[in-house]
Amino acid sequence: MAEAHEAVAFSFSVGHEGFNVDVSYDVFKALFYAGYRSWKLRCRRTLNSLYNSLYPGHPSRGIACCGVVAGLYFKGYDPSFHIIDWLESNIFRRYLQPRNGKILACIVFGGGGYILFIQLRQYTLKKLFSYHGWMYQEHGKNIGLVPKIWSVLVKLCVGRNPSLFSCQNFLPSLPLPSLDETLRRYLRSVRPLYDDNEYQRMEKLAEEFKQTIGRKLQRYLWLKWIISTNYVSDWWEKFIYLRGRSPIMVNSNFYGLDAIYIRPTTIQTARAANLTCAAFRYRTELDHENIKPLMIQKFVPLCSSQYERQFNTVRIPGKETDKIIHYADSHHVAVYHKGRWYKVFMFYKDNLLQPCELQLQLDEIIRDTTPPNYGEEHLAALTAGERPLWAEARETYFSSGVNRYSLEAIEKAAFVLILDDEDFEIGTSMTGKLDDYACAILHGKAYNRWFDKSFNFIVSRNAVFGFNVEHSWADAPITGHLAEYVLSEDIMNYGYDALGNTCGTPRFTALKPIKLKWNIPESCNLMIEKSLVQATKVYNDVDLHIYVQDSYGKGFMKKHRLSPDAYIQMSLQLAHYRDSGHFNLTYEASMTRLFRDGRTETVRSCSIESSHWVKAMEDPTVSKVERIKLLRAACDHHQLQYRDAMSGKGIDRHLFCLYVVSKYLNLDSPFLHQVLQEPWKLSTSQTATTYDDKRLTKLMSQKPDLAEKMALDRLKNIAAAGGGFGPTPASYEDRYPQFNRKKKGIKAGGGFGPVAADGYGVSYIITSEDLIFFHISSNKSSAETDSKRFGQRIQQAMQDMRELLESESKSASSSKNEKKISTVVPSTDQPA
């Protein structure tokens, strides 16, 4: 196994015979190619910046414009109305010959005119994208005149083939809602939570706030809105994420799981190599900006700024606040296995390693029997415990020497790869093993994940994949995009041989993995163990359960003309009311990426309409017709809230920023204090499919049985080769009985820890027409919560809602049949 000194380019020693110099030419070459690659990357980014600044135009069109202007001018047609002559005579004549001056004047006029034209298009698009009336159009109904005109104008102005960051210049700023409107929406949202006396108290506090300091705070916030691209995002990152002093494990980081219907191999290093190489290919696509920005309705772009810090990023602890460091480039990954940390280079002579070449390095790590250095095995527990403790340890023991070098190898890595020493089980069966797998990805053992890195790829001993993500730098859809890409590349591009190893033949022998060295004194190890005790207490309290809803899904919901997301939110309201006995403040995350640097906004799912429907469901005297009417009203109101949140009319981010301003001005507000202290007893989020890979979509939609055949053929080849790992084809089919169904999605989603100590965190993903995963978290220490019990509540709520809507269908069908009979069968009091 290579040691750290192998990464040193040269060393010398002094002896009796003079100087002795040892030179590592391989490392010199590696450094040369690393510098060469970084130079190419900087050039690429410069060209991309030029392209993006001219989008929706193109530099080639600007050059063509200059050529047309020059051609017309020298043909005797002056398109500049003598501006070119003025430029040549007053500016360029003193430096150039008359003809050359005229050519340069033509270029300046043509280029300047083209830039002004592009600026006008960008300004027009920014104004057009500030309109969100199209979002409020009901599905299935005729589109109004204004949205039609708007869509035509957008299509005329927007360019073709945008790169990832091309649309950033004409995304509008997040609008600042009026104070009166936010207070009105807030009071309406909390009406179901309070009795009459408490609600009147909140009304009084809100009115007092508006009449005293509210207007002043709004004016200060308006100034911030004027000078910033987004008046929320920087404060949200700083105060919600980076200022938090509690452990980020469970409390902030979130997780994602593997695909559920495809198990391409059970060899750990092969799967890890494919996924890691796929991630680096994705990073290359990001660096080159070849990935297209996500679009709504195929022409409304979403903000792409969060992609910038996906790789080469780390959260650095501080005593009072953390900070995010993003490195321009990285040529390696940090790998953890059985208590040891390694640095693995991903490039050789400016070439990205192939999976078969990377697997050799990972195999060498697996075979390594070197024991961990003192304190190394539990070192990552520092990132899982209290932040001030980690900040103190980092400043004291990791600011110089070998510890600094090794820590930088982890922090400057593209990401962290964990080769776990446990087996994970995944499928659609609600077993304890599935819950254990989710817990392992969320928190592991607290010391075998580096929670400060932007993300950790985790591969189990039996090659099941998962990822853990630090939340401050971006939101879940960004990492979901990456996960879908690498999973599709793993299956559709790289693949595996008959034995489950990576395909291909190594082209060369790359640099060996470098085992990182540590010099951990006893005092530092005590801090590591103290942090581990803190983290262990946190994760031992986690009650995580995955409920799989497979009796029906979004197909049934859409059949009854209900939004799947609104439908699921109503089921959660009914389930939570039955679980707790009263209504609670409910958080659903909505995105604001229609605006520049936008992140999220809150949708308050517990509303007047939803509470009326829930009460009706629990009241046996209310008819089914009335319940259905109330359900549709609740779903419609929830959709309206969601659209308002997406279009910048949310409640909570505005109130949060007003609270921050009040703290800067040292002004106390009982109203804002009450608002910010209200606990989110139910925190929810939908995991959406954000990346539409054409090959994977084609595979799953046109050839639904091909994925099954790939997996079963792989297992047959393993059995024929005498492999002793993985289930047999028969047992695979038994384990996943739904494998043969036609699926458009294969992700199991992911989840997060509970927000409130006595509340639930629920993340759900609508995987297919008849499959939904609910990731439910709570705290074992709370007597009010139980994740498995809440999963049963959700199951019962979904069943009750299905029976309710089926009764409507049966009633409509019966009425239709009666009407048909009455029109066909003649009346008995008339002659036949």
- What pLDDT score does 816 carry? 56
**Tens digits of residue pLDDT in 13-43:** 555 555 555 555 666 666 676 677 778 878 8
Nearest Cα neighbor of 606 from 651, 658, 647 is 651
What digits encode the pLDDT tens for the residues 468-511? Answer: 999 999 999 999 999 999 999 998 899 999 999 999 999 887 67
b/e 419-438 (16+ beta carbons within 10 angstroms → b): bbeebbbbbbebeeebbebb
- What mean pLDDT comes out for the span 419-425? 94
pLDDT band at residue 831 using 50, 70 and 90 as cut-offs: very low
Q: List the single range of 304-308, 548-552, 705-709 with lowest mean pLDDT.
A: 705-709
pTM for the complete prediction? 0.88
- Residue 797: CB partners within 8 Å, gap ≥ 6? 571, 572, 574, 575, 578
What homologous superfamily does CATH list for 252-539? Choline/Carnitine o-acyltransferase, domain 2 (3.30.559.70)
Q: Residue 503: which residues within 8 A CB-CB, separation 6 or more?
A: 355, 356, 494, 495, 496, 497
Q: How many residues are there in the chain? A: 832
Please state whether 455 falls in left (phi above 0), alpha (psi between -120 and 50) or beta.
beta
Fold equal for 179-239+550-687+749-812 and 252-539: yes
pLDDT at 576: 97
Q: What is the DSSP letter of 294?
A: P
Q: How do residues 334-364 score in pLDDT, each as one tens digit?
A: 999 999 999 999 998 888 999 999 999 999 9
pLDDT of residue 140: 67
Question: Which residues, 6+ apart, have CB-to-CB distance to 553 below 8 Å?
Answer: 564, 766, 767, 768, 769, 770, 771, 772
Per the CB < 8 A criterion, the answer to whether 682 and 570 are in contact is no
Q: How far, in Å, CA of 832 to CA of 828, rounded?
A: 8
Task: Return the higher-pLDDT residue of 830 and 38.
Answer: 38
61-70 tens-digit pLDDT: 999 999 999 9
Torsion of CA 20, 25, 27, 31, to 10 degrees: 120
* pLDDT for res 29: 66
pLDDT of 702 over the 50 cut: no
**Residues 179-239+550-687+749-812, CATH architecture:** 2-Layer Sandwich (3.30)
d(CA 625, CA 613): 12
Q: Is residue 812 pLDDT above 80, yes or no?
A: no
Token code pair at residue 708 = 């099954």
What per-residue confidence (pLDDT) applies to 706? 47
Active site residues: 471
In the chain, domain spans? 2-27, 55-131, 179-239+550-687+749-812, 252-539
Instruction: Say which range, 12-21, 109-118, 791-800, has the weakest mean pLDDT.
Output: 12-21
Q: Tell me whether strands 351-352 and 586-591 are parallel, antiparallel or unpaired.
A: unpaired
Enumerate the H helices of 541-592 as residue ranges. 554-559, 564-580
Tens digit of each residue's pLDDT (9 = 90 or more) over 95-104: 888 889 899 9
- The residues, ordered by sequence, that sit 6+ positions from 725 with a Cβ below 8 Å of its Cβ are 266, 267, 462, 500, 718
